[in-house]
Amino acid sequence: MIVSTTTLRDSSGGPQISAARIAFGIFLIVLAIYVVSSPGRIDIIDGQARFDVAYNWLHSGQPLLTDPWIKPRMAVPGRHKLPYSYYGAPASVLPMPLMAIGALYDKDMGVGASQFLFSLTSPILGATICTVLFLFYIELGVEVRHAFAWALVSAFATMIWPLSNSTFDNAQHAFFAILSVFLGFVSSRHNSKALAIAGGLSAAVLVLYQEYFLIIIPALAMSTIRWTATTSPAEEPSPSSSSLLSSLISNLRTYARRVGNLLRAAVNGPGEERASCVRFVLWSLTAVTVGLTLCFWFNDLRFGSLFRDGKLQFRSRRGFPMFGNPVAGLATLILSPGKSIFLYSPTLVIAVIGMRRLFREQQALALGLCSASIALVLFISCISFAGGDWCWGPRYLVPLLPLWALAFPFALNRFRWKRLVPVIVGISFAVQLMAVSVENQRFFFQRGFNDFFWVEDPWVYFKDSALLARAGETISLKNGAPVTAEFFNSIPAPNWYTYTILGPNPNTPRRMAPVWMTHFKIFYLPKPWPLWMSTTDPGSRPINLQAWLCALIGMVAISLTVLYPLYKGSPTRQLAKYSGVEQKAAV
């Protein structure tokens, strides 16, 4: 890989350190913490459906949804009237290697080991997000210790952590989004068409997850563009603008001129402008053509039609609309106490402050990130289930978090109250720690919500907040499960610990859900698997608890050994060379 040639050198002339080595150390320590704090089970019915499709595809060669408890709720009839899921393929394909390993240990234990390992797909990709961010920071010229620190902030002080600990696939979206932008950016640094195509392939996976990611493809592809003196006029938007609107208009005019200059220069002759356009087209064309081609193939495999994916059929059968109140949706995602992205990831404030400097230093990249954010937020605001429930926080916005994390290091020189930075990071870390402490569905059952409560009241998150309720829920863990809690989970198989939660009988009014849930320990035990699994019968556990804990401790020890040179010598280690290109620390 290209990153293997990156070296970090002590400014006093000390020994060089491989950036790949530090990235590997970051991956190991983040992965160990993500795994040990994960639920170790399928935590949502969406994940159970994806697991069943993966299991059938792996063992019988067909992506069917045959689970006897999930099929009546979520299956859509397709070819030959067989039951299929309406979810995209990647969330079922990526866990297959882990599930194949789990199948070696299942045997008399059902599919517990396979389900446990399936639940680790997002932790692995979530840890890789932080590795990519570290390498991206280095590419942006960030001093290595700052890059290391901000990569850990993104790992543990944003919603990337709790969503990486879920069988929802949003952290997987975030991984492919940041990887595609990283590859596009590196392609612009090295004028590499191959890297541009690789970035497009990463973005194509996003389209396979959800077709609506097509709306942000052109914005993400801007990472391949490299502004030059020809395409970046010296004049800046007038600082004397008296209003936000006039400033915005001035900025848009400036960037429109730059795009026009880029295109004219590309037409006039060879050079960086034409190379940028070629990379942009290769990235975008690869993402769209590969993504849509595989989408059409998967649709035809299941439903015998290129354009039918089962989503509309499922929604019409369940009786809820695709689109809702966009004003309520936008206010929910930005302002509400129940779903505001700024409350669930307070460090986003630091990113917003740093984005202005990132705009000044990496204009095409920053413009692409902001454009993608606006497009995705506006689209999600228009759908009726903007909150993505049942879940923790505004999960549909998680793919944007690693993109905005790129602006973290650029905030310090602009932040007048620098002492607030550790306070904001500490608060955000506490929010994420609470997120992984308690079963998320407890909040919804405790309030007796119906399955599609967000259709009944689009302003519900201005009245109820899982975030505000979580402090009390976390404190209540010290009381343990109530005496009425006879079973671990609500499924018919009482000793099956890795299966998703099922709600009350459909004939039971949801107002009785708070009483119903008192019969199940899962709502009152800590969410991380080492804690709840220690309360179960050792003979019925899906894995060897002690062996896994020892392996994770070993992983942490290896990561500390790998990262140890980072703490030796001068604290001003910085990037010395990247494939022969001299760099200076930007921060």
Q: What is the DSSP string of 2-71?
A: GGGG-EEE-TTS--EEEHHHHHHHHHHHHHHHHHHTS-SS--SHHHHHHHHHHHHHHHHSS-B---TTTH
Residue 543 lies in a domain: no
Residue 518 lies in a domain: yes
Query: Higher pLDDT residue, 181 or 16?
Result: 181
CA-based torsion, 183, 277, 283, 175: positive or negative = positive
| 129 and 171 Cβ atoms separated by less than 8 Å | yes
**Over the stretch 267-317, which tens digit does the pLDDT of each residue have?**
666 767 788 889 999 999 999 999 999 999 999 999 999 999 888 888 877
- Measured from the Cβ of residue 149, the count of other Cβ atoms closer than 10 Å reads 17
Return d(Cα 79, Cα 75) in angstroms, integer: 12
- Among 479, 497, 525, give the residue marking a domain's end: 525
Query: pLDDT at residue 24 above 50?
Result: yes
Please list, in sequence order, all residues whose beta carbon lies within 8 angstroms of the beta carbon of residue 396, skipping any fewer than 6 positions away: 170, 376, 380, 386, 388
Phi, psi of 392 (to 5 degrees): -100, 115
What pairing do the DSSP bridges indicate for beta strands 16-18 and 76-77?
A: unpaired
Average pLDDT, the chain: 87
What is the pLDDT, as a whole number, of residue 248?
A: 58
Return d(Cα 209, Cα 230) in angstroms, integer: 38
> pLDDT-based confidence at 470, cuts 50/70/90?
very high
Residue 202 lies in a domain: yes
Residue 568 lies in a domain: no
Query: pLDDT at residue 265 above 80?
Result: no
**514 Rama class: left (phi>0) / alpha (psi -120 to 50) / beta:** alpha
> Which pair of structure tokens corresponds to residue 219?
């914005």
Residue 323 lies in a domain: yes
CA-based torsion, 356, 360, 363, 365: positive or negative = negative
Shared domain check, 416 and 290: yes
What is the pLDDT, as a whole number, of residue 228?
A: 62
Residue 576 lies in a domain: no
Shared domain check, 243 and 108: no
**107 Rama class: left (phi>0) / alpha (psi -120 to 50) / beta:** left
Shared domain check, 454 and 327: no
| 225 and 266 Cβ atoms separated by less than 8 Å | no
Strands (E), 350-493: none
| 215 and 376 Cβ atoms separated by less than 8 Å | yes
Residue 314 lies in a domain: yes
Query: Higher pLDDT residue, 89 or 582?
Result: 89
DSSP summary character for residue 233 = -
> Which pair of structure tokens corresponds to residue 235?
């004049």
Shared domain check, 206 and 110: no
Which of 65, 67, 87 minimizes the C-alpha distance to 75?
65
What is the pLDDT, as a whole number, of residue 579?
A: 32
Shared domain check, 420 and 325: yes
**Over the stretch 472-492, which tens digit does the pLDDT of each residue have?**
999 999 999 999 998 999 887
What is the pLDDT, as a whole number, of residue 577?
A: 35
Query: Can you spell out the DSSP letters for 294-341?
Result: HHHHHHHHHHS-SS--SHHHHHHHHT--SB--HHHHHHHHHT-TTT-H
> pLDDT-based confidence at 75, cuts 50/70/90?
very high
Return d(Cα 20, Cα 23) in angstroms, integer: 5
Shared domain check, 450 and 422: no
> Which pair of structure tokens corresponds to residue 162?
């709790």
Picking from 214-223, 251-260, 523-532, which range would have the lowest pLDDT averaged per residue?
A: 251-260
> Which pair of structure tokens corresponds to residue 357?
């400097």
Phi, psi of 433 (to 5 degrees): -65, -40
**Over the stretch 103-124, which tens digit does the pLDDT of each residue have?**
988 876 679 999 999 999 999 9
> pLDDT-based confidence at 493, cuts 50/70/90?
confident
| Helix then strand then coil, % of the chain, to nearest 5 | 65, 5, 35
Average pLDDT for residues 76-99, to the nearest whole number?
95
Residue 269 lies in a domain: yes
Shared domain check, 374 and 249: yes
Q: What is the pTM of this model?
A: 0.91
Per the structure, the complete domain to which residue 364 belongs is given by 157-435
Alpha helices (runs of H) in 388-538, residue ranges in sequence order: 401-405, 420-435, 441-446, 453-456, 466-475, 513-516, 529-533
Query: pLDDT at residue 466 above 50?
Result: yes
Angle, CA 120 vertex, CA 116 and CA 123 arms, to 5°: 155
What is the pLDDT, as a whole number, of residue 268?
A: 67
What is the pLDDT, as a whole number, of residue 581?
A: 36
- Among 65, 91, 118, give the residue marking a domain's end: 118
Return d(Cα 31, Cα 432) in angstroms, integer: 16
What is the pLDDT, as a whole number, of residue 402?
A: 97
Shared domain check, 299 and 218: yes
Shared domain check, 211 and 68: no
Average pLDDT for residues 505-518, to the nearest whole number?
90
What is the pLDDT, as a whole number, of residue 7?
A: 57
Q: Give percent of the chain with pLDDT exceeding 70.
A: 85
Which of 241, 134, 65 minimizes the C-alpha distance to 562?
134
Shared domain check, 397 and 481: no
Which of 406, 394, 401 minimizes the C-alpha distance to 354?
406
What is the pLDDT, as a whole number, of residue 582?
A: 37
- Among 509, 525, 541, give the residue marking a domain's end: 525
Q: Give me the number of domains the chain comprises.
A: 3
Angle, CA 379 vertex, CA 440 and CA 305 arms, to 5°: 90
Shared domain check, 449 and 408: no
Shared domain check, 521 and 494: yes
Please list, in sequence order, all residues whose beta carbon lies within 8 angstroms of the beta carbon of residue 120, skipping any fewer than 6 positions away: 35, 38, 98
Helices (H) and strands (E) in the chain, counts: 27, 6
**Over the stretch 227-252, which tens digit does the pLDDT of each residue have?**
764 444 444 444 444 455 565 566 66
**319 Rama class: left (phi>0) / alpha (psi -120 to 50) / beta:** left
What is the pLDDT, as a whole number, of residue 231?
A: 47
